[in-house]
Chains A and B, each alone.
Chain A
Amino acid sequence: MTLATFLRKKTINAVVILIAIAAMNFFLIRLAPGDPAQVMAGEAGAGDAVFLQQLREKFGLDRPLIEQFWHYMKGVGTLDLGFSYRQQRPVLDLIVERLPATLLLTGTALIISLAAGVTLGTLAARRVGRLSDSAITLASLVFYAMPLFWLALIAQIVFSKHLGWLPNVGYESVGAGYAGLRRALDIGWHLIMPATTLGLFFTAVYARMMRASMLEVASFDYVKTAHAKGLGPGAIVRHHMIPNAILPVVTLAGLQAGQLVGGSLLVETVFAWPGIGRLLFDALIQRDYQVLLGVFFTCSAMVILFNILTDLLYRFVDPRIEVT
């Protein structure tokens, strides 16, 4: 199908899913024990009778369920994700403020892990059975099994406390007042630990997948043909094996998008990275449910976006899927 058709189909799909998620949010709030108004007001707002009344009116909580649903969905449609009593700001504002930091973190982690994973996986496959393969396979197993938050804490202990190489927490050096390139570099400096921590897990995942994929491709007929033509191992790996072996890895990256977003929540918490993950953690502690649901909704939207991007990337690298 053409690119236009593909994008159209995907957009409609995305909208349908987002509507379904919003509906699910609606029902989850109702499922929670207690008065929905108090749930939505959060711990801080539940004490304020005026606020509660405002919520009741806005969401029609005294009305029949159907009307409530309609009100809620209308709100979501206009991107009104609610109001945080605790922070005294619309949820949407809070999210928009924090989103870029999360995108920076997850984007960097994704790029690092894909690049490192594919490289290491290829290396392990080329030296299968030898020491470097065993080392990479073992390292992959280890990092795949590590709880993300534990790894983050260890990183802090080793690299911040003991070695003093990297800043412990935060997005940029507080109060330093950098601007322009210096500021970017400062942010980058703070980005290293969180992005690497988040990326290590996925590096392990992609390295394992790439290694398995390369070993499978090695037994395919067209690799034998390449040998029969007299191609050297370098050319065979570069032109015949990697372009085919990388396809399942791209697919996997798309499927892992949800994990990536979820993982960033944990990493941001440990490193005090000012993204939506931090927002979520604070909202959890404060029982600020509207913020919670708003972040949840945003995360889902991010995953859908990642899925569309990897789908596009896949169509780009696999010519068997027609794109005109």
Chain B
Amino acid sequence: MTSPTAPMPILCVRDLTIALPDGADRRHAVQDVSFDVGAREVLCIVGESGSGKSITAHAVMGLLPRNLVTRSGAIALAGRSLISRSEEEMRAVRGREIGMIFQEPMTSLNPVRRIGEQITEVFKAHGALTPPERAEKAVALLAEVGLPEPAQMMRAFPHQLSGGQRQRVMIAMALALEPRLLIADEPTTALDVTTQGQILKLIERLRRDRDMGVLFITHDFGVVDDIADRVAVMRHGQIVEMGSAAEVLRAPTHAYTKALLAAVPSLTPPPVAATLPDVPALTVENLQKTYVTSVGFFRPPRVVAAVADVSFTLRRGETLGIVGESGSGKSTVGKCLVRLLEANGGAIRLGDVDLMQLRGSRLRPLRRRIQMVFQDPYASLNPRKTIGRIIADGPMAHGVPASAAHDKARELIQLVGLGPDALNRYPHEFSGGQRQRIGIARALALEPDVVVADEAVSALDVSVQAQILLLLRDLKQRLAMSLIFITHDLRVAAQICDRIAVMQKGRIVELGDTAKVFADPQHAYTRELLAAVPGRRQPSPRALEGA
């Protein structure tokens, strides 16, 4: 709550209610939402997918899609109402009094227009400055957001920039006319963790330098901890809790907030349960995957080593994590292990067999020994097949008779926490978390020696993620599963992996027991990664239940 002597909030939202079109899973996208953003503070709205946080942000800007209708409520910017304004009036507000940045830097910039023009057109649209002044100001803005060689950057095209650089350009465009409010809709969600840290610091610095208010939408409590002054927690379109960051994060009152915080994996690895027998389940030696692209007739082709000289051993019953940012090669390693990609060199030994020596029909029967759980729950199940078929097809392809395969499917579907009636239904009837359970059941149906989980929880909300991690923990103990867990999220890795391998640019830079690596990282890159994880400062919330 703002004290009586505090300055007037820059943004006031009161009882905002926005209706969803008929046939949606609830009547209102957003219901009776009220909050303030102070003139110099950062308010974070946190929630899972479907909570309505993004819609709220879009409503402030008047950028709601046409099928969402604002039923009631008031939105006021510096005391003057926004809701009652016409489209033309709102256009004058957008970009000048409120700036907004979005989630996907790769698609948020016009690919066929130069960076410089995309910035100067903000000035032009609002009739500000003369053309030469606009160019000058644009260069200054690019420098302010930390981009190298701003004068040359003006003539660059978006595809020549990295994700982090594009997001900086977005920020420059949003702040060009010095708005008093910046709305940031999940601006760092699509970025690597190290880049994310840089962008968060940038936003923080700009807020101080320019005396702005910031409305920051996110699903990540770590980010909230790093950047928020005040927090509002949303669920199913309503605010369930609101207060200062310290209050909400350290002493939450609402049950949902508590549950969400508890679901965030801690960065502190749990104590080691028991030592594992030193029997190798999988040995990888000098794995190599290079991509060669020809550039032209007389120039040497471009050679990119996606995976270079990767070696490790996975013990039976162990969970080995492979962590890294995008482009580190971790996913490529996973795909090479299950032979979806053909590695160029090295050996993959399962027991006494080297998988790399086998191809085609000789490889097929051995595929059952190493299986994969995929990342996208919405793309990993064939929409035209029943769940039962999806799980049973694997064993049947290896000669198991249909009835035995279906019995196995029934057994597994219950093991992963779904009822046997699920076997006759189709994927679209299940949620993301449920589909991942089905994906796990499918992998286990073949009784593999090794399971590779390729970012298996990355596409899930944090509360669902916690459940799936619990399931994996449980299966690990029950089935003595040997698991390779590929992820970019260090918190998840901390909680579920016994040992951890850190990859950078195709190589493993550090490999060791999770607790040791987190407590005392040896390699500079590992230290950089750990330092960049948002929310490090706070004492860890409770670890996964059932540890």
Could you list which residues of chain A lie within 8 angstroms of chain B, going by C-beta atoms?
Answer: 1-2, 5, 8, 220-222, 224-232, 235, 239-240, 243-244, 247, 317-320
Determine whether the beta carbon of A243 is less than 8 Å from that of B125.
no
Q: Say whether, besides A224-B63, A225-B170, A235-B121, A244 and B112 are in contact (CB < 8 Å).
A: yes
B121 with A225: CB separation less than 8 A: no
When A and B form their complex, which 4 residue pairs have the shortest distance between CB atoms, in order from nearest? A230-B95, A230-B94, A229-B95, A221-B107
Q: Which residue of B lies closest to A226 (CB)?
A: B110
Contact assessment for B112 and A243 in the assembled complex, using a CB-CB cutoff below 8 Å: yes
Complex-state Cα separation, A93 to B459, whole angstroms: 67
Bitwise, B216-245 to A at CB < 8 A (1) or not (0) is: 000000000000000000000000000000
Contact of B104 among A8, A221, A230, A243 (CB under 8 A): A221
Number of A-B contacts (CB under 8 A): 85
Q: Is the pair A220, B107 in contact by a Cβ cutoff of 8 Å?
A: yes
- The minimal Cβ–Cβ distance linking B320 to chain A, given in whole angstroms, is 37
Query: Which residues from 71 to 124 on chain B have a C-beta closer than 8 Å to any C-beta of chain A?
Result: 91-96, 99-100, 102, 104, 107-113, 117, 121-122, 124
Q: Which of B63, B109, B121, B126 contacts A222 (CB 8 A)?
A: B109
Q: List 30 A-B contacts (CB under 8 A).
A: A1-B295, A5-B297, A220-B107, A221-B102, A222-B107, A222-B109, A225-B108, A225-B109, A225-B110, A225-B170, A225-B173, A227-B63, A228-B63, A228-B99, A229-B94, A229-B125, A230-B92, A230-B94, A230-B95, A230-B125, A231-B122, A231-B125, A235-B121, A235-B125, A244-B111, A244-B112, A247-B112, A319-B111, A320-B112, A320-B157
Least CB distance, A6 to chain B, in whole angstroms = 9
Collect the chain B residues with CB atoms within 8 Å of residue A226's CB. Answer: 110
CB of B159 within 8 Å of the partner chain: yes
Mask, B324-343, CB within 8 Å of A = 1, is 00000000000000000000
What's the nearest-Cβ distance from chain B to residue A215, in Å? 13
Contacts of A229 in B (CB 8 A): 94-95, 121-122, 125, 173-174
Report A-chain residues with C-beta under 8 Å of the C-beta of B23: none
Besides A225-B109, A319-B112, A320-B157, 19 other A-B contacts (C-beta < 8 A): A5-B297, A8-B297, A221-B104, A222-B107, A222-B110, A225-B108, A225-B173, A228-B174, A229-B173, A230-B125, A235-B121, A240-B113, A243-B110, A243-B113, A244-B111, A247-B112, A317-B112, A319-B157, A320-B159
Q: Is the CB of B91 within 8 A of A232?
A: yes
Q: What residue in chain B is nearest A225 (Cβ atoms)? A: B108
| Distance in angstroms between the alpha carbons of A220 and B112 in the assembled complex | 13
Hey, which bits of chain B sit against chain A, CB under 8 A? Answer: 61, 63, 91-96, 99-100, 102, 104, 107-113, 117, 121-122, 124-126, 157, 159, 170, 173-174, 295-297
Residues of B contacting A221 with CB < 8 Å? 102, 104, 107-108
Task: Give the residues in chain A near B297, CB-CB below 8 Å.
Answer: 5, 8
A2 vs B153: C-alpha distance when bound (angstroms):
22
Who on chain B is nearest to A222 by CB?
Answer: B110
List B contacts of A240 (CB < 8 A).
Answer: 110, 113
**Interface contact A232-B125, CB-CB below 8 Å:** yes
Shortest CB–CB separation between residue B21 and chain A, in angstroms?
A: 16
Contacts of A220 in B (CB 8 A): 107
The smallest beta-carbon distance between B206 and chain A, in angstroms, is 17
Given A235-B121, A317-B112, is A228 in contact with B107 using a C-beta cutoff of 8 Å? no
- Residues on A with C-beta less than 8 A from B112 are 243-244, 247, 317-320
B107's nearest neighbour on chain A, judged by CB, is A221
Complex alpha-carbon distance, A60 and B265, angstroms: 84
Closest to B119 in A: A229
User: What is the chain B residue whose CB lies nearest that of A220?
Assistant: B107
Q: How far is the CA of A141 from the CA of B349 in the complex (A)?
A: 61
Contacting residues, chain B, for A8 (C-beta < 8 A): 297
A318 to B159, CA, bound (A): 11
- Name which residue of chain A comes closest to B92, CB basis: A230
CB distance from A13 to the nearest CB of B (A): 13
Contacts of B296 in A (CB 8 A): 1-2, 5
Q: Which residues of B contact A2 (CB under 8 A)?
A: 296
- Select one of A1, A224, A228, A319 contacting B95, CB under 8 A: A228
Residues of B contacting A230 with CB < 8 Å? 91-96, 122, 125-126
Closest beta carbon of chain A to B62's beta carbon, Å: 9
Min distance, Cβ A214 to any Cβ of chain B, angstroms: 14
How many angstroms from the CA of A188 to the CA of B201 in the assembled complex?
A: 66
B173 surroundings in chain A (CB, below 8 A):
225, 229
Residue of B with least CB distance to A321: B159
The residue from B91, B93, B102 contacting A225, defined by CB atoms under 8 A apart: B102
Closest-CB distance, B89 to chain A (whole angstroms): 11
With both chains docked as a complex, state the minimum distance between the C-beta of A275 and any C-beta of chain B, in angstroms.
Answer: 37
Q: Which residue of A lies closest to B159 (CB)?
A: A320
A57 to chain B, nearest CB (A): 43
Residues of A within 8 A of B117 (CB): 239
Q: Contact between B121 and A231 (Cβ–Cβ < 8 Å)?
A: yes
Question: Nearest-CB distance from A246 to chain B (Å)?
Answer: 9
| CB of B100 to closest CB in A, whole Å | 4
* A320 to B110 alpha-carbon distance, docked (Å): 11
Q: Which residues of A contact B124 (CB under 8 A)?
A: 235
**Across the interface, which residues of A come within 8 angstroms of B99, CB to CB?**
228
Chain A residue numbers with a CB within 8 Å of B109 are 222, 225
- By a CB distance below 8 angstroms, the chain A residues around B125 are 229-232, 235
> Which one of B93, B94, B111, B112 has the highest number of Cβ atoms from chain A below 10 Å of its Cβ?
B112
A227 to B61 alpha-carbon distance, docked (Å): 9
Complex contact B121–A244 (CB within 8 A): no
Kindly state the separation between the CA atoms of A228 and B176 in the bound complex, as whole angstroms: 12
Chain B residue at minimum C-beta to C-beta distance from A6: B296
Q: Which residue of A lies closest to B110 (CB)?
A: A222
Q: How far is the CA of A317 from the CA of B113 in the complex (A)?
A: 10
Contacts of A225 on B, CB cut-off 8 Å?
Answer: 102, 108-110, 170, 173
Residues of A within 8 A of B110 (CB): 222, 225-226, 239-240, 243-244
Complex: A232 Cα to B91 Cα, angstroms: 7
Known: A2-B296, A221-B102. A320 touches B111 (CB 8 A): yes
Chain B residue nearest in CB terms to A318: B112
Q: B residues within 8 A CB of A320?
A: 111-112, 157, 159
- Nearest chain-B residue to A8 (Cβ)? B297
Please state if B111 and A222 are interface contacts (CB–CB under 8 Å): yes
Cα distance A90–B99 in the bound complex, in angstroms: 71
Contact A222 B91 (CB under 8 A): no
Chain A residues with CB under 8 Å of B91's CB are 230-232
A230 to B87, CA, bound (A): 10
Bound Cα distance from A87 to B112, whole angstroms: 53
Give the residues in chain A near B104, CB-CB below 8 Å. 221
Q: Give the chain B neighbours of A319 by CB distance below 8 A.
A: 111-112, 157, 159
A240 CA to B297 CA, complexed, in Å: 35
Cα A220 to Cα B107 with chains together (Å): 7
With known contacts A2-B296, A231-B125, A222–B159 Cβ distance under 8 A: no
Distance between Cα atoms of A243 and B226 in the complex (Å): 40
In the assembled complex, the CB of B91 is this many whole angstroms from the nearest CB of chain A, namely: 5
| CA–CA, A228 and B95, complex, Å | 6
Q: Closest residue of chain A to B183, judged by CB? A: A228
Contact between chains at B102 and A227 (CB < 8 Å): no
Q: Distance in Å from the Cβ of B294 to the closest Cβ of chain A?
A: 9
- Chain A residues with CB under 8 Å of B170's CB are 225
Q: Which residue of A lies closest to B124 (CB)?
A: A235
